[in-house]
Each structure stands twice: as structure tokens, then as C-alpha cells.
Structure 1
Amino acid sequence: MPAFAFNRQPVALAWFDTAAGEPLLTAEQAAIGAALSGPTPQPWLWLAPETAAGPALPPASVRGLRLHCAGGGFSGPLRCGLPLPLHGESFDRIIVQHAHEYGGDQLLEECERLLAPGGRLWLFSLNPLSPYRWRWRKAGLTFRDALSWRLRLQALGLQVATPASHLGPLWRIGHERAGNLPSGLRAVCLLQAEKRAAAMIPPSPAGRRWRPGAATA
């Protein structure tokens, strides 16, 4: 599988391994754990920075593939580039944890291809409206506001299921009390989108036509 040349340097996502980046990944663990531990085990795909720590998952939910960005492509149980050597519509859940800020729009197009009808995509992105943006401004990462990501997902045919939610710190690297944080100014924006299957058009009901003079029982 030829390696895909990302439009950003591989060191860009290394920012998440710094003292400023780690709190964002920590704040996202609970949401990722909830996304992967559904009531029934379904295949999932998780694309993440190399340093992202995984949440503790019950054994029934461990039925998926985790890849991280490294060396101009992805590594993990398999090493590859884009397009991913995986069958289309084979994952019920896909977690994109900042990997699109490294791989660009082509990565989201690939996620749409791999997502099964009725499946859901979780997109964790940097929030450019947050004061925390000054801590990643020189890291070489790509980021957009929530509306731009929403429009991009809709252009791919995905239905954004819920309003954007926000996680992580506001400005301080250390712990900040959640009650004092305006939610829309937190460092991480989370969008969820569904791939909805087109419903078949039911046959039209047969018309009942009354004819004058017809015999009645």
C-alpha cells in the first residue's frame, strides 16, 4: 500500500504530547469511552495522535481497530496510507481524534466511505474560538470552527446528529473548574454525525374506482 503524503509534517500532532496538549486528550477520554462501549459490540475504527491514551473499555467493546498518525501515514496493527486498505461500510463507529487536523479533508472522505449505514462518526477538533488556541498557534495544525466542520460533513452526505459540544480547558494548562468555563470557549469541539441509509420508496396504493351501475351485494 503506497504511503500517503499528508499536507502537514508528522511532527504537527506531536504537540499533543506536550504539557499544553495532554489535557485535551485527557478531557476527551470519557467521551471516547462512551462512544466505544455501546450496548452491543460493534466494529469500530479509532484514528488518533500517537500519544493519545485509550480509555478503559469492557471486554465486550474491544472489537475494533486503532490507528495513529506516524511517519507520513498510519501505524498500529497495520501500517498504511490513504486510502485505508479496509472494506467500505465496515465500521459502525468511527472516532477521529484530531487526525483530520493532520490528514486533511481526504481523511474525512475516507471515513465516510468506511462508515456503515446507520453508523456514527465522532469528530474531535481544536476550537479556534477558544483562548487556548494561543498554545497551539505555532504547532502547524489545521483547524476550523464548528460551523465549517458541520458544512464539510454535510457535503460528504453525513447528517450532523447533535449540536457541537465542547471539552477541555479554557486557558490554563492545569485543572480549571468546569462551573467557571463558558462551554463554547473550551479548547476542544466535538461533533457527531450519522450516515443515514436512503429509504426505499414504497409502492403507491392501488386506487379504488367506483363504476356507476355496478352490482352491489
Structure 2
Amino acid sequence: MARKVAEPDDLAAAAAAAAASGISRGRTTFPGWAKTSRIERVKLAGRWISPVQPTGKLRAVHLVPRSIFELVELQHLLAGEWNLARARAALVASGPGLSIDPLAVGQARAISSHPEWTRLHRHGNGLAGDLRCLPDSLPFENDSMQLIVARHIVDVLGPGSGIEAELARILAPGGMLFLFGLNPLSPWRFWLSRQVRHGLLLPDYSSSGRVRSALVGCKLSIVRREFLGGAWPGNSRDASLTDSGPAGAIWEGAWLLAARKQRVGMRPIPLRAGRRRVPVNSALAQSPSRRVSP
């Protein structure tokens, strides 16, 4: 009997069912599948799942994520960062918002204080989503965005992309920029380096100090820097990364820079010059007085 290769949709459905039922790795039995001695491991959605071959009919195929940000641990970090940005956005004046992500993500929970959002994500060497553009030429007016949430865009574009200058240009005076990046000093870096064996590309790590210098050079004021995500994937302090917890240590997985554009709204009016007193020249002839003496 000919052996038929399982379709990716079938494997995805089976893997989802296994993950939902909490089946452990290594000894997995999907409903209706016969357990055999030969198990092929499939990397699906960033986590190793071990489906079994139904005898004589199907065999598993090897699926890998397209980006490290599709790994479950990185998805958990992205979700926590968005929750943290939602909590901090309550302190920012309402207005248009912009979010830039390292990959196309599902519809995230909206930020009620900023209903007007433009969503972009990295696509090749540029950005896609609600519109297509290049990182160094965002199609927005100067001072047009009240809130910007950029998650790990510096990790996928690398230094020299010009994204920092563009974010500073479109940020409105009094607005807030939340910029997230992977921490090159964290043990996360060693864990991510192991993913290269599975065909994934490592990010272009940018330290918070380098990005901070770039933002300061663009006339932005850094109001907060903190580290979050835990020292090892899956060991974060809080799944939601809310504002109630501590700022985190320097070896945690990700960093956050909160920057604000401060600009003087009114120019001081210069003082009017006082009236100058000119001395009378004694050489000038004076006209006689017409006053009648008594």
C-alpha cells in the first residue's frame, strides 16, 4: 500500500489537539492514531511535538517556524510587552497610535485610550501591514503620532536602518515612544543561539545603550529604561509583565526604553526696548517764548 504524506493542516490540527489536551513530549498518542516504535519529531509553532505514525498510512513531515519570534517563548514575551504598553498608555494623551512588530501578529487587544491605530510589521527589508513603506521613510507627517509601540524592530532590521530617526520625527510633542529589544547581555542569547540548528536566523542584537544614544541624538528624552522577561525563557516573573512589578535586572531577556519628545510650545516675547533719552544740544537755537509775562 502506498504511503501518503500528511498534509500540514492535518498535522497542525493534530498538534493543536495534543497541546490542548496537555499530552507530554516523547510519548504522544493522538486520537485514532496507532502508537508505533518509530516517532518523528515535528517542530510546530516553536515547540517540539512528537506525533506518531498511523501504521501504513501517514508519516509526519518536518515543520519549522519562519522566525524566532514564532517560538512559543518569544510569543509569550511579545504578549507580555503589549500588555505592559497598554498599561503605560493610560498615562499618555489620547491621539493616533502606531505599532510596529517583528512579524505579522494576530489582532491584539486594543488600547481604549488610543482608538486610532496603524499596524505595521517587518516584511523583507521593509515594512508591511496597513501600508507598505521603508524603515527610513515612514509615510506620516511630522509630529503626527501620540503613541508609538515598536517591539523588536531594531532586532530584525539591525543598526543603520534609520528607524530611530523616523520614529523621533513622527512622534508628537508630549507623546510617548515605547521601544522594545532583546537584551544581548541576557542568557536568552545562549538559548536563541541553539535555534540556529533548526534553520532560524539570529536577531541583530542592539543594546539599550546604543539605541538610547540614537534616540537622544534625535532630540528625544529618555524617561524610563527597564529590563523584563526573566533571565531564562519560560521563567519570567509575571506572564503579563504588568506595571506593578519591579523594573527587572540587567540580565533579563528584553529591554524597554520609554522616550518622550519635549518641545516648547510658545516662544517668549522679547521685551520692547525702552525709550531712549537724547540730550539736548546746547548749540541749537531756541525759539522765544510766547508766554506773556505779568
How many Å separate the matches in 1 of 2:148 and 2:83?
16
The answer as to whether partners of 1:32 and 1:55 remain within 8 angstroms in 2 is: no
2:207 corresponds to 1:151: no
Match of 1:62 among 98, 101, 115: 115
Q: Which one-letter code corresponds to 2:178 in the other structure? A: W
2:253 corresponds to 1:200: no
Tell me the equivalent position of 2:234.
Answer: 174
Tell me the equivalent position of 2:133.
Answer: 80
After the TM superposition, which of the residue ranges 197-206 and 57-66 deviates more from structure 2? Answer: 197-206
Q: Which one-letter code corresponds to 1:174 in the other structure? A: G
2:185 corresponds to 1:129: yes
Deviation at 1:26, TM superposition (A): 2.5
Match of 2:166 among 110, 118, 121: 110
Q: Which one-letter code corresponds to 2:151 in the other structure? A: Q
Compared CA separation, residues 13 and 95, structure 1 to 2 (3 A): farther
Match of 1:34 among 75, 87, 90: 87
SS of the equivalent of 2:250 reads helix
The answer as to whether partners of 1:121 and 1:194 remain within 8 angstroms in 2 is: yes
SS of the equivalent of 1:136 reads helix
Give the fraction of aligned pairs with identical amino acids, expressed as a percent.
29
Q: Aligned pairs, how many?
A: 197
SS of the equivalent of 1:92 reads strand
Q: Which one-letter code corresponds to 1:187 in the other structure? A: G
Tell me the equivalent position of 1:15.
Answer: 68
Q: Which one-letter code corresponds to 2:270 in the other structure? A: P
Structure 2 unaligned blocks of 5 or more: 1-64, 239-244, 277-294
CA RMSD in angstroms comes to 3.0
How many Å separate the matches in 1 of 2:226 and 2:66?
22
SS of the equivalent of 1:61 reads coil
Deviation at 1:186, TM superposition (A): 1.1
Tell me the equivalent position of 1:8.
Answer: none
- CA deviation map 1:132-190 (0-9, x unaligned): 1112345331223222221111111111112x11111211x3244469x9622210100
Deviation at 1:78, TM superposition (A): 1.3
Larger Cα-atom Rg: 2
SS of the equivalent of 1:185 reads coil
How many Å separate the matches in 1 of 2:128 and 2:70?
17
How many Å separate the matches in 1 of 2:66 and 2:210?
21
Deviation at 1:72, TM superposition (A): 2.6
2:246 corresponds to 1:186: no
